[in-house]
Structure 1
Amino acid sequence: MWEEVHGFVKENHMLEDGDYVLAGLSGGADSVCLLRYLLWAQKKIHIKIAAVHVNHQLRGSEAERDERFAGRFCEYWQIPFAAVKRDVAEESARRRCSLEEAGRLARYDCFDMFAGKWGCNKIAVAHHKNDLAETVLFRMARGTSLRGLAGIRPVTGNIIRPLLCLTREKICAILNDLGQEYVEDSTNMDDAYSRNFIRHRLLPDMRRVNPAAVEHLAHISRQAAEIMDYLEPAFQKIYEENVLWKEDCCLLPLEAAALMHPAELSETVRRMIAAMAGGQRDISAVHVEQVAGLFGKRPGKYLELPFGLTAERKCEGVALLRREAYLQSRKDARQKAEEEAVRPQRVDMERLEREGSYEIDFPGGGHISFRLEEFHGGDIEKNDCVKYFAYDRIKSTLCLRSRKTGDYFVVDKGGRHKSLRRYFIDEKIPAGERDAKILLTEGSHVLWVLGGRISEAYRVEPDTKTVLVVRAEDKIIKSNSVK
C-alpha cells in the first residue's frame, strides 16, 4: 500500500540513507499516516525518526486528548517524542494574524527548534493532495499569481511532504486497512475557517462537476510550479541587475521598469516586497499590482502595504521602505524644506520707480536685479536668467518668496489659470523640494518660477510702454531650475 508514496518520495529525492527525520504529529489521520509510512520506509532506507506534537491550547480537554494519543503512539512504536504547549490565541493577538496563521507559525517554530536540538536534517509534514487543491482555490480567491498557483511544493528547503501524492480519501483508506486509530479535530468541521469552507463546500460542489477536480487542481499546480522553476533564473537575474539597495530600502528605477515586460515587472516587484517583508507568505497579486501601478503615478504618491512596509513613487522610480523609515523621511523632508524655504523679500517698488533699478541679495549667495526700461518694440532677450515683464500690468508690490496655497499662473491670452501645485506636479518636482523654489509673485499671482515658466498675464506685447527686466545670477537659476 506504500508503493505510490515511496515512488513519489524517490521521484522528489526526499529521503536518503542516513537522514534523521522529524515528523509533525497532531494525532489526526494525515500525520498518523505519515508516521506509519516513515516506519515502513525504515525497512527500505536507513533513516531515523522523531516526532513533535504542538498543543495549541485552543480546544481544552480535546487538545489534551490529542497530546496523550500522540504520546502513546510514539511510545508504542518507540519513536523519540516531544510535546509542546503554545498559547496560539495569545500569539495570534501579538502577531496580529489569524489563529490559523499563528498556529502554523507556532508549529514550524517548534519543528525547527527540535530539529536543531536533536540533529534532524529533514522535517516531514503531512500535507496531501486535498490540501494542495484547497490551497490553490484559497489563493485564487484572495488574488494570486502564477507563482501562487504552484501551491504546496513536495520539497521546500529541509521540509518534505511525502503524502502530497495522496488524496484525503486514500489516506483514510490506508489507515482503515492497517486498523490504525487516529483522533479527529472538531474545529475541522467549523466552516467559519476559510479552508474548512473550501473543504466542505467548494470542493464537494466542484467534484459534482467533475469527480477528478482535486486531481486536476493538483495538475494545474504542478504545471505552474514547473513553469516558475524554469523562469526562476531569468527572473532572479533581472531582479539582481535592476533593483538598487540602500540600507533598509530598495528602489526599482523608472527607466529599468519601463523596459520590462509586465511579467518581469510584476515578478521583480514581488521579489522586492518579499525581500523587505522577510518572506513571500501573504503577498497577494493585489499588493504586487498596487506597487507596480505607482510607476504610472506622480512622484510623492505612496501606499501602505502589510508587513509594515510603505511603497513610494519617487522621481527616480518606486521605493519600498519600512513604515517608520518612510515617516522619518517625510519628517526630514519637511524639516529640510522649512530650512531651505525662501525668506520672503519684498521689492521696494518706490525705490525701483525712483531710481530705475533695485537689487536683492540672497543669504546663500547671489543676487537678483530689477531694472525699468522704456519699450519701443522689437525682440527681447531670451535667456533663462533674464525675463521681461510688462510693467504697466503690475498693480501692487512684488515679492520673492516660497510657494503658498492658492498660487497660480495665467497660462494663455484667454486668462486661463493653472495652479502652481499642478505645475509642480506636471514638471515632476518632488514634494520635498517645492518649498525651496524661488518665486516672483504679485499677491497669489506667480510672475516667474525662477528657472521655469512665466505667467502669460505679464508677457510683453507690442503696446507695452515700460518693461521690467529681472535678472538672476546663473547659480540661482541652476539651483532653482525645474527643467
Structure 2
Amino acid sequence: MIDNFLAYSKKNKLIQKGDKVLVGVSGGIDSVVLLDILCNVRKKLNIQIAVAHINYGLRKESDRDAAFVGSLAKRYDVPIYTGKMKLQGSNLEERARDIRYSFFNKILGKKNFQKIAVAHHKNDMVETFFLNAARGSGLTGLVSMRPKTESLIRPLLFATRSDIEDYAGKNSLKFVEDVTNKDLSIKRNLVRHKVIPSLSGINPDLVETIANEVENLRKAQDLLSEITEKYYKKMANERKSSVSLAVKDLQKLHPYLRSEVLRRSIFYVKRDLKNISRKNIESILKLIESTHGTKKVMLPGRLIASRTYDKLNIERRTKSPAKMPKKMRLTPGKELTFGKWRLFLEKGEAFRDEEDKSLVFLNIQKELKLLVRCRKPGDRITIGQGKTKSLQDIFVDAKIPQKERDAYPVIVNEDDEIIWIPDVRVSAPYAKVTKTNLIIKARKC
C-alpha cells in the first residue's frame, strides 16, 4: 500500500520533498489511513505534516470525534489546527464541505502550507461520477474528483475502500464510525449502499471499471478544455462581474463545444460550476436559438443569462435596482457625468460630421436651456413631416439593451421637448443642420 502510495504521488506530482502538508482528518477510517501513511513516509519525503479538524456540532458524537483526532495528533507527534461551529438548516452536507475547505485554505495561507491532503479514494470518485451524472453536470462534473486541484491533493485515489480497510486492519489502526454513513436520505449514501451494489451484479469489478472510464474521460476533458479555452478567449467580452458573447459566434460552434463555452462563461462569473445542471445549460441554449429581442433565464448562485438582440450576457443579479440619474442641466464648457455617460456642451462654429453619432449639432441663435434626464412614460420624438414616434419604439429599433434603457440619457429643452437620444436619433427639427454654433458630445464612460 505504501509503495503504491509513493508511486501514485510521484506519477501525479502530488508531494514534493520539503512540502508542508496539512491533512484533513475527520477521525474516520479513510483519513486515519491517510495520516498514518503520510507519517510513515514523512522522513523519506522530507515533509512536514499537520492535522486539521473541524467540529460542526451536527451529531452528539462530534465532540468525541474531535477528542479522538486530538489524540491522533499527539500520538503521531504532529501539530493540530481545530475549528468549531454550529451548523443548522438545510443543505448541511454541502455547507459543511464549503466551510471545511474554507477553514483548510485559511490555515494554508496563514501557516505557509503548500498542500492540503484529503482522503478521497477510488470508491468516492465513482460515487461522485454517479451523483454528477444524475444531476446532468456534463463532462466536467463526471471527472471533477482529480488527483490534484491547485493546492488540494487526493493521494488515496489509487486505492479502493477494501484496500483502505485491509491496511487499517493489518496495522491495527483505530478510527471512529460516522453513524450518518448509513442514512439513505443522504444522496451519496444512497449511491454507495444501493446503486453501486445493484450495478455490481452486472459487473463485479464495477468500481475499477468506472474508475478507468473516469480516467479516460479526464484525458478527453483536458483536451476539450484546451479547445474550449481557445474559443472562449476569442469570443468572450469579460467585465468585472459579467461576460457577454456574440450570439452569431455561438451559433457557429459545434453543439457540444457551444455548451462547454457556456459552462466556461458561467465559471468566469460564478467562480465554480456548483449546482449548474444540464437543464440550466439547455435553457441558455434556447436563448441563443430564440429570435425574440430580449429574454432571460435565472441560474443558480444568483446569476442571470439574458439574450439582448445579438448578445448573450451572463451576470450576477443585483440585489436592488440601480439608482436612476437625476435630471441635470447642460452648461457650456462643463463636462457632465450622467450615469454611465459623459456629456459636454460647447459653443463655436463647426461643420457637421454625418458619420459621428456621438455628436449633435444645433444651430440656435437664441439662448437655449438644455437638460438631460432619463426616459419617462409617453416620451415621443419628432421624426419628420409632423410625425412623432415613441421612445420605446426608438430603443427597440436601435436595439438598445433593455437593462440600459431606464438610465439612458435623453436631451430635452426647457419645454421638455426631446432634442436628441445619444448614438440613436436627433429630433427632426434639429437634424438638418450643416453649420452649427452649438455642439453636444456624448461618450460612454
Aligned: 1:177 with 2:170: yes
- Structure-2 separation of matches of 1:246 and 1:17: 40
Aligned: 1:338 with 2:376: yes
Within the candidate set 295, 299, 308, 2:302 is matched to 308
- Structure-2 separation of matches of 1:287 and 1:330: 32
Q: Give deviations 1:447-474, integer Å, cap 9, x for gaps.
A: xxxxxxxxxxxxxxxxxxxxxxxxx889
SS at match of 1:292: helix
Q: Give deviations 1:406-464, integer Å, cap 9, x for gaps.
A: xxxxxxxxxxxxxx9xxx79x9886679999xxxxxxxxxxxxxxxxxxxxxxxxxxxx
Within the candidate set 134, 149, 152, 2:145 is matched to 152
- Structure-1 separation of matches of 2:19 and 2:126: 29
Within the candidate set 123, 129, 133, 2:126 is matched to 133
- Structure-2 separation of matches of 1:31 and 1:268: 37
Partner of residue 382, structure 1: none
Partner of residue 69, structure 1: 68
Compared with structure 1, are the counterparts of its residues 256 and 33 closer, same or farther at alpha carbon in structure 2 (3 Å cutoff)?
same
Q: Give deviations 1:232-258, integer Å, cap 9, x for gaps.
A: 222112111101124432111122112
Aligned: 1:114 with 2:110: no
Shift of 1:338: 2.5
- Structure-1 separation of matches of 2:183 and 2:208: 25
Compared with structure 1, are the counterparts of its residues 330 and 160 closer, same or farther at alpha carbon in structure 2 (3 Å cutoff)?
farther
SS at match of 1:51: strand
Shift of 1:292: 2.3
* Equivalent residue letter for 1:72: S
Partner of residue 324, structure 1: 318
Q: Give the conservation status (yes or no) of the 8 Å contact 1:337–1:432.
A: no
Partner of residue 264, structure 1: 257
Compared with structure 1, are the counterparts of its residues 337 and 325 closer, same or farther at alpha carbon in structure 2 (3 Å cutoff)?
farther
Aligned: 1:213 with 2:230: no
SS at match of 1:42: helix
* Equivalent residue letter for 1:342: R
Aligned: 1:368 with 2:385: yes
* Equivalent residue letter for 1:128: H
Compared with structure 1, are the counterparts of its residues 433 and 179 closer, same or farther at alpha carbon in structure 2 (3 Å cutoff)?
closer
Q: Structure 1: where are the runs of 5+ without partners?
A: 344-361, 370-398, 405-419, 437-471, 477-483
Partner of residue 335, structure 2: none
- Structure-2 separation of matches of 1:270 and 1:112: 25
Partner of residue 411, structure 2: none
* Equivalent residue letter for 2:380: V
Partner of residue 445, structure 1: none
* Equivalent residue letter for 2:112: G
Partner of residue 280, structure 1: 273
Q: Give the conservation status (yes or no) of the 8 Å contact 2:228–2:257.
A: yes
Partner of residue 240, structure 1: 233
Compared with structure 1, are the counterparts of its residues 330 and 266 closer, same or farther at alpha carbon in structure 2 (3 Å cutoff)?
farther
- Structure-1 separation of matches of 2:158 and 2:98: 24
- Structure-1 separation of matches of 2:119 and 2:227: 32
Compared with structure 1, are the counterparts of its residues 116 and 246 closer, same or farther at alpha carbon in structure 2 (3 Å cutoff)?
closer
SS at match of 1:59: coil
Q: Give deviations 1:260-301, integer Å, cap 9, x for gaps.
A: 111221111111111111222322222222212211122211
Partner of residue 78, structure 1: 77
Compared with structure 1, are the counterparts of its residues 431 and 210 closer, same or farther at alpha carbon in structure 2 (3 Å cutoff)?
same
SS at match of 1:209: coil
Alignment map for 1:379-458 (pairs within 5 Å): 400=388, 402=390
Compared with structure 1, are the counterparts of its residues 102 and 253 closer, same or farther at alpha carbon in structure 2 (3 Å cutoff)?
same
Q: Give deviations 1:147-189, integer Å, cap 9, x for gaps.
A: 2211300011011111111111210111000011100011111
- Structure-1 separation of matches of 2:175 and 2:319: 50
Aligned: 1:38 with 2:38: yes
Compared with structure 1, are the counterparts of its residues 294 and 180 closer, same or farther at alpha carbon in structure 2 (3 Å cutoff)?
same
Shift of 1:400: 4.9
Q: Give deviations 1:117-176, integer Å, cap 9, x for gaps.
A: 322111100000110000000001111211221130001101111111111121011100
Q: Structure 2: where are the runs of 5+ without partners?
A: 326-338, 340-372, 409-427, 433-445
What is the percentage of aligned positions where both structures have the same residue? 33
Compared with structure 1, are the counterparts of its residues 117 and 132 closer, same or farther at alpha carbon in structure 2 (3 Å cutoff)?
same
Q: Give deviations 1:39-75, integer Å, cap 9, x for gaps.
A: 1212421111100111111002x11111111111110
Partner of residue 224, structure 1: 217
Q: Give the conservation status (yes or no) of the 8 Å contact 1:55–1:63.
A: yes
Within the candidate set 188, 196, 201, 1:195 is matched to 188
Partner of residue 98, structure 1: 91
Between 296-305 and 25-34, report the one with greater CA deviation.
296-305
Shift of 1:328: 4.3
- Structure-2 separation of matches of 1:337 and 1:222: 57
* Equivalent residue letter for 1:13: K
Partner of residue 26, structure 2: 26
Compared with structure 1, are the counterparts of its residues 131 and 400 closer, same or farther at alpha carbon in structure 2 (3 Å cutoff)?
same
- Note the aligned Cα RMSD (angstroms): 3.0
Partner of residue 204, structure 1: 197
Q: Give the conservation status (yes or no) of the 8 Å contact 1:155–1:161.
A: yes
